[in-house]
Amino acid sequence: MRPSFAQRTLRLGTAFAGGAALILGLAAAGADPIPQEWIKAQHASCLQACSANTKTPNVCETYCTCIDRGFATTLTKADYMEMDTDVKTKQPMSEALSTKVQTIEDRCLPQ
């Protein structure tokens, strides 16, 4: 059974916590790509959260790198900022954004 929007938002929240601080106070910029420094910060945060939960660094590196690529190729800067706000405020993502994020996560989860 597929998790609810709220469950996905909370599950993803720990992975985005580090990158979240970088985007505080920045304005959404339409279809601009996500800045690389945000992706790098998100990667570090993802590795930290994944390693704390799984204790399997190789799996975490592969998963987080896949998430990075998915975000960079699928999400816009505005999408990322919306997701960040939703995670910080513990609000469910919009259905459209949740679908994008879930598609990325489904591709990246170890089979």
Residue 19: per-residue pLDDT: 42
Q: What pLDDT, on the 0 to 100 scale, is given for residue 95?
A: 96
The Cα–Cα gap between 102 and 98 comes to 6
Distance, CA of 76 to CA of 67 (rounded, Å) = 14
Query: Taking the domains of the chain in order of start, what are their residue ranges?
Result: 40-111
Amino acid type, 42:
Q
Q: Which residues of the chain have pLDDT under 50?
A: 1-11, 13-14, 16-30
pLDDT tens figures, 43-64? 999 999 998 988 787 899 999 9
| pLDDT of res. 12 | 55
Q: pTM higher than 0.85 for the full model?
A: no
The structure tokens listed for 12 are 């993803």
pLDDT of residue 30: 46
* Residue 97, both tokens: 């954004």
